[in-house]
Amino acid sequence: MEHSKEKFDFPAGLDELDRRILHLLQTDASMSNQELAQRVHASPPTCLRRVRRLRELGIIQGIVAILAPERVGSPLTAIVEITLDVQTAERLEAFENRVRNEPALVQCYRVSGGPDFVLVALAANMQAYQELVRHVFNADSNVRNVRTFFSMHRSKFDVRAMV
């Protein structure tokens, strides 16, 4: 699937070769440097240097395998809205740190125009989700409201950024 060709602001020094490398790695990061170089029309040493530089710049944050949650014991996906009582910088950061340390919470977004955060949680079942709510959200005196939506069906899941 090809993303739109709209150009985004990249840090100085990123060019079309970097964009091609990033696009291919987001599609399949398991390919060898040799194959990547061939597909972006660059030499393997050039490609290797570019990938290293993209990592050093923090543009490539990591390389992972994307699993099917339902096949590894996490069939319940919950999208959770969190509203805090106090939204000072310190309290927002404290909540983010609490979430960061909870493996069942796989995504966290600070948002505007409604709740303070939108989270994505994976759980084995409803009982596991209720335990998560109890020890992460209910145990935090600054959490005013928790609103949860349970996924019935995932029709799209894509981790690629626009490049």
The tens digit of pLDDT for each residue in 140-162 reads 999 999 999 999 999 998 888 87
Considering the chain, tell me which residue range(s) the CATH 3.30.70.920 domain(s) occupy. Answer: 69-150
Task: Please give the model's pTM, rounded to 2 decimal places.
Answer: 0.82
As a whole number of angstroms, the distance between CA 140 and CA 119 comes to 15
Protein fold of 16-56: Arc Repressor Mutant, subunit A (1.10.10)
Contact 29, 63 (CB under 8 A): yes
Give the CATH number of domain 69-150; options: 3.40.920.10, 3.30.70.920, 1.10.1040.10, 3.40.50.2300. 3.30.70.920
Q: What is the mean pLDDT of the chain?
A: 92
* pLDDT value at residue 163: 79
| Residue 53 parent element (H or E) | helix 44-56
Q: Which two tokens stand for residue 161?
A: 């950024």
Ranking 31-35, 63-67, 88-92, 127-131 by mean pLDDT, the lowest is 63-67
Considering the chain, tell me which residue range(s) the CATH 1.10.10.10 domain(s) occupy. Answer: 16-56
pLDDT per position as a tens digit, 30-77: 999 999 999 999 999 999 999 999 999 999 999 988 888 889 988 999
Query: Would you list the DSSP string of 101-151?
Result: T-TTEEEEEE-SSS-SEEEEEEESSHHHHHHHIIIIIIT-TTEEEEEEEE-
* pLDDT value at residue 7: 54
Cβ neighbours of residue 98 under 8 Å, at least 6 residues apart? 136, 140
Contact 150, 78 (CB under 8 A): yes
Cβ neighbours of residue 160 under 8 Å, at least 6 residues apart? 3, 23, 26, 27
pLDDT exceeds cutoff 90 at 84: yes
